[in-house]
């Protein structure tokens, strides 16, 4: 499989190169040259298989010959062995057509583990094969950081730098990163928002001399391999509920658009995914795009769901690439205008226009903090399930999105993605429902461990200096 940049200028790469590259050198994101498509009978054959077997089938066409069948199988077996539930991604029923997919049974209790456990092992394998070192640089709004550190800390060929917005994550989230020991891992607080931290990361990736000097690699969802691994749980849930012979809808709590974009790819691979309900908190840039066709920036505001406190949804560019019929030149021009003016207007003129195509598949909903809390209370009262605030946003969108009545009339099941364990947001959960959500045993003593704290200004220069002072090689 070859990979293209969404901005059409960077060289085409193989899977292994994309894995280690992250952002394309023209500022774009890498996507496969073509979507692998399975026939209904191929999908039917995969129904009922264990998660790891399904993963192997879904992932292999994206890798091509870059890894052997045996290497892929080993990476996946070891990755999913780190999960604490035998189903890996268990599906629970909340109502006649309503389900939640629990994506928090990995080592750090958020859905990021489903991709990063795989990604970290592919990194390790590649660096060992090529006898080289690399430096991971990423920004986190809360959950990516710990998942990346957990996935990469055993890899001696890597130094990992994770930037997080100072004071904007839950204590549990911060401690998951700052209590990790090891010379090759640095969690660094940035004096700014997630978008500020992400801007520093993008600036350093675009500093090509520094990028080459360090051997920078990305673990954010700008890394294609993360999207790839996330397709698997959409397929797993859809096949469990009757696909390919029945349509399935999903509701997805959205920040950087990486998770929901994997749902779009699953649909391109031939699964009958009808609707993707995109749920945001008050940082509603993507809900506004779907409503108005206009993408415009607003400052990030803090909410009860910090992992979604994002106003620049990087992976949206990947969707736009397809909506612009894969015209990288046109997309590059639009992105440049957006960078200059802070605004992009998407055409909505006729059934083939980008907005019309998007609205066939996506519907958007903004969920405020009060509604998030009410949803946590209602679901706990009605079903006994304890939801974390991010999952509650998806569950609210499941029952309140604009096309709910039409989909109910067709008896289409909907799956809300539960992206974090409630223990990660214990204070919010306790305030909402008066119940303490204890963490699983392997994280029970987090509060007692010593933290390593570093702080830098939210500028690329400050981050660069920190990295140069601490990189291992
Ligand atoms: C990362 C994260 C999100 C947002 O996912 P994106 O891929 O950035 O859209 C939502 N909820 C939780 C719990 C997360 O960790």
Q: What is the pLDDT of residue 91?
A: 98
Residues in the chain, total? 473
Closest CA to 422 of 98, 105, 32: 105
Kindly give the interhelix angle for 224-240 and 51-63, rounded to the nearest 10 degrees: 140
> Environment class of residue 86 by beta-carbon count within 10 Å: exposed (0-12), middle (13-18) or buried (19+)?
exposed
**Strand 343-345 to 294-296 pairing:** antiparallel
At 204-262, the pLDDT tens digits run 998 999 999 999 998 988 899 999 999 999 999 999 999 999 999 999 999 999 999 99
Can the peptide bond before residue 244 be classed as cis, meaning omega within 30 degrees of 0?
Answer: yes
Ligand 1 center to 287 CA (angstroms): 15
Which ligand 1 atom is the nearest neighbour of the CA of 420? Answer: 13
Q: Domain extents for the chain?
A: 91-109+225-433
In whole angstroms, what is the distance from residue 360 CA to residue 346 CA?
15
In whole angstroms, what is the distance from residue 454 CA to residue 468 CA?
14
Computed over every residue of the chain, the mean pLDDT equals 95
Partners of 280 in beta bridges = 366
The SS3 of residue 134 is strand
Q: What is the pLDDT of residue 311?
A: 86
Give the confidence band of 23 by pLDDT, cuts at 50, 70, 90: confident
Q: Once rounded to an integer, what is the mean pLDDT over residues 400-413?
A: 98
Global pTM reads 0.95
User: Which of 162, 227, 259 maximizes ligand 1 atoms within 8 Å of its Cβ, making it the mutation to test the pocket?
Assistant: 259
Q: What single DSSP character describes residue 15?
A: H
Q: Once rounded to an integer, what is the mean pLDDT over residues 165-169?
A: 91
Is residue 275 scored above 90 in pLDDT? yes
Fold of domain 91-109+225-433: Rossmann fold (3.40.50)
Q: What is the pLDDT of residue 134?
A: 95
The 10 Å CB-count burial string (b at 16+, else e) for 164-187 is bbbebbbebbbbbbbbbeeebbbb
Q: What is the pLDDT of residue 351?
A: 85
The residue assigned the tokens 């702080």 is 455
Is residue 148 scored above 90 in pLDDT? yes
In whole angstroms, what is the distance from residue 451 CA to residue 176 CA?
9
At 27-81, the pLDDT tens digits run 999 999 999 999 999 999 999 999 999 999 999 999 999 999 999 999 999 999 9
Is residue 157 scored above 80 in pLDDT? yes
User: Which of 115, 278, 419, 424 maximizes ligand 1 atoms within 8 Å of its Cβ, making it the mutation to test the pocket?
Assistant: 419
Ligand 1 center to 130 CA (angstroms): 32
Which residues line ligand 1 at a C-beta cut-off of 6 Å? 110, 112, 142-143, 221, 253-259, 307-308, 390, 419-420
The percentage of the chain sitting over the pLDDT mark of 70, rounded to a whole number, equals: 100
User: Which of 111, 278, 364, 416 maximizes ligand 1 atoms within 8 Å of its Cβ, making it the mutation to test the pocket?
Assistant: 111
Instruction: Name the more confident of 350 and 247.
Output: 247
The SS3 of residue 9 is coil
Would you name the residues annotated as active-site residues? 112
Helix (H) or strand (E) holding 277: strand 273-280
In whole angstroms, what is the distance from residue 226 CA to residue 246 CA?
27
Q: Once rounded to an integer, what is the mean pLDDT over residues 403-421?
A: 98
Torsion angle, CA of 432/433/434/438, rounded to 10 degrees? -100
The 10 Å CB-count burial string (b at 16+, else e) for 40-64 is eeebeebbeeebbebbbbbbbbbbe
Is-contact 258 227, C-beta < 8 A?
Answer: yes
Q: What single DSSP character describes residue 108?
A: T
Which ligand 1 atom is the nearest neighbour of the CA of 259? Answer: 7
Which ligand 1 atom is the nearest neighbour of the CA of 221? Answer: 7
The 10 Å CB-count burial string (b at 16+, else e) for 190-228 is bebbbbbbbbbbbebbeeeebbeebbbbbbbbbbbbbbb
Question: Other C-beta atoms within 10 Å of 383: how many?
Answer: 15
In whole angstroms, what is the distance from residue 467 CA to residue 203 CA?
14
In whole angstroms, what is the distance from residue 390 CA to residue 424 CA?
11
CA triple 309-312-316, angle to 5 deg: 115
Partners of 245 in beta bridges = none
Give the confidence band of 21 by pLDDT, cuts at 50, 70, 90: confident
Is residue 142 scored above 90 in pLDDT? no
Take atom 8 of ligand 1 and give the residue whose Cα is closest: 256
Which ligand 1 atom is the nearest neighbour of the CA of 143? Answer: 15
């Amino acid at each position: 499989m070859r990979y293209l940049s969404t901005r059409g200028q960077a060289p085409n790469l193989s899977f292994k190169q994309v894995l280690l590259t992250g952002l394309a050198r023209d500022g774009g994101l890498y996507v496969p040259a073509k979507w692998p498509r399975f026939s209904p009978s191929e999908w039917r054959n995969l129904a009922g298989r264990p998660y790891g077997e399904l993963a192997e089938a879904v992932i292999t066409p994206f890798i091509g010959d870059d890894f052997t069948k045996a290497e892929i199988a080993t990476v996946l077996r070891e990755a999913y062995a780190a999960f604490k539930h035998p189903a890996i991604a268990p599906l629970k029923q909340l109502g006649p057509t309503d389900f939640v997919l629990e994506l928090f049974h990995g080592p750090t209790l958020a859905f990021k583990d489903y991709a990063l456990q795989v990604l970290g092992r592919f990194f390790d394998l590649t660096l060992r094969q090529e006898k080289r070192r690399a430096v991971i640089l990423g920004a986190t709004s809360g959950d990516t950081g710990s998942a990346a550190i957990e996935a990469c800390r055993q890899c001696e060929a890597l130094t990992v730098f994770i930037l997080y917005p100072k004071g904007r994550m839950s204590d549990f989230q911060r401690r998951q990163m700052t209590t990790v020991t090891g010379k090759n891992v640095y969690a660094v607080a940035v004096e700014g928002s997630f978008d500020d931290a992400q801007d520093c990361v993008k600036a350093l990736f675009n500093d090509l001399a520094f990028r080459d000097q360090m051997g920078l690699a990305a673990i954010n969802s700008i890394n294609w391999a993360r999207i790839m691994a996330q397709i698997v749980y959409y397929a797993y849930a859809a096949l469990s509920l009757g696909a390919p012979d029945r349509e399935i809808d999903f509701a997805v709590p959205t920040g950087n658009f990486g998770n929901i974009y994997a749902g779009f790819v699953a649909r391109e691979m031939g699964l009958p995914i009808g609707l993707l309900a995109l749920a945001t908190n008050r940082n509603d840039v993507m809900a506004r795009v779907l409503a108005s066709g206009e993408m415009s920036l607003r400052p990030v505001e803090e909410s009860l769901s910090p992992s979604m406190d994002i106003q620049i949804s990087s992976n949206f560019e990947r969707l736009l690439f397809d909506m612009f019929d894969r015209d990288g030149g046109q997309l590059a021009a639009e992105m440049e205008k957006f960078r200059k003016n802070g605004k992009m207007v998407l055409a909505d003129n006729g059934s083939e226009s980008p907005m019309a195509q998007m609205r066939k598949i996506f519907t958007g909903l903004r969920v405020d903090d009060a509604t998030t809390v009410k949803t946590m209370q209602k679901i706990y009262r009605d079903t006994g399930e304890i939801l974390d605030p991010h999952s509650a946003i998806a569950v609210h969108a499941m029952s309140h999105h604009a096309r709910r009545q039409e989909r109910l009339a067709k008896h289409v099941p909907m799956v809300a993605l539960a992206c974090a364990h409630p223990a990660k947001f214990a204070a919010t959960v306790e305030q909402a429902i008066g119940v303490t959500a204890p963490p699983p045993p392997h994280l029970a003593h987090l509060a007692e461990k010593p933290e390593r704290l570093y702080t830098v200004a939210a500028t690329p220069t400050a981050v660069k200096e920190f990295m140069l002072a601490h990189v291992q090689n």
